[in-house]
Amino acid sequence: MPELPEVETIRRELAKEIVGKKLDGIKIIGVRRRAKILIIDLINGQSLLFHLKLTGQLLFNSQPGKYTRAVFCFNDGTNLIFNDKIKFGWWKKVKNVSQIEKQFGPEPLEDDFTSEKFQQMLARRKNAKIKPLLMDQKFIAGIGNIYSDEILFKAGIHPLRRVVSLKFNEIEQIFGAIKIVLKTAVKQRGSSIRDYLDIYGKKGDYGKFHQVYHRENQACPKCGEKIKRIKIGGRSAHFCPKCQKL
């Protein structure tokens, strides 16, 4: 599923291509992202929302194909193609985005997401396991399976650790890893694990930098121990049992 880095990549690219154009005669004034949702703002106060889910793609000025679910045509003759192989993704036009935006936790790359704020957030969820908590969109926005694995590896924290067991310096390590991993992933235009492509049909490069995600039984890049995979609440977690001790 496209996570924050992938959706942010799409947002940045679309902002360059479609802002100022008209869709059904209505001018596009901005392209935003909230968590994993892409928001295209129109001058009439409405917004077009996209959630790509597992296999969704947004391709700019492309041709419809077998998995195309919608084509959005702009006034200059260009278009935006929405593909979705397994049809879990969605798009809709809404009048008020604020109610949807309120459903999510803070954006981890915003300046107001500070170490102090993160400490306070965790203090209210002491019994939670850290891996599922990082993926909880109401707790923090945009982090999913890929980046929670990579963040916890960088921080040296086992995915099953409960918040109450984390020391101050360990929380600081997680906070720092969130910023570093997500910023690097955005710079590399996200991870193309399955179907993710940017709006030009290109794959993201961050998969080359994965340390543990989808590397089960491969050598840990730090110590050489075999990467393990376990299930937590129906989701996979990849980690090094030596570098990330429980």
Active site residues: 2-3, 36, 235
35-63 core/surface letters (b: 16 or more CB in 10 A; e: else): bbbbbbbbeeeebbbbbbeebbbbbbebe
Give the list of residues 6+ apart from residue 170 with CB closer than 8 angstroms, or none: 155, 156, 157
Token couple for 152: 């916890």
d(CA 22, CA 11): 17
Give whole-number Cα distances, 36 to 64, 90, 138, 211, in Å: 24, 12, 12, 23
Residue 145's φ and ψ, nearest 5 degrees, are -65, -45
Element (H, E) at 102: none
* Calpha distance 104→139 (Å, rounded): 7
Is the Cβ–Cβ distance between 210 and 216 less than 8 Å? no
Helix residue ranges, H only, 43-144: 98-101, 115-123, 130-135
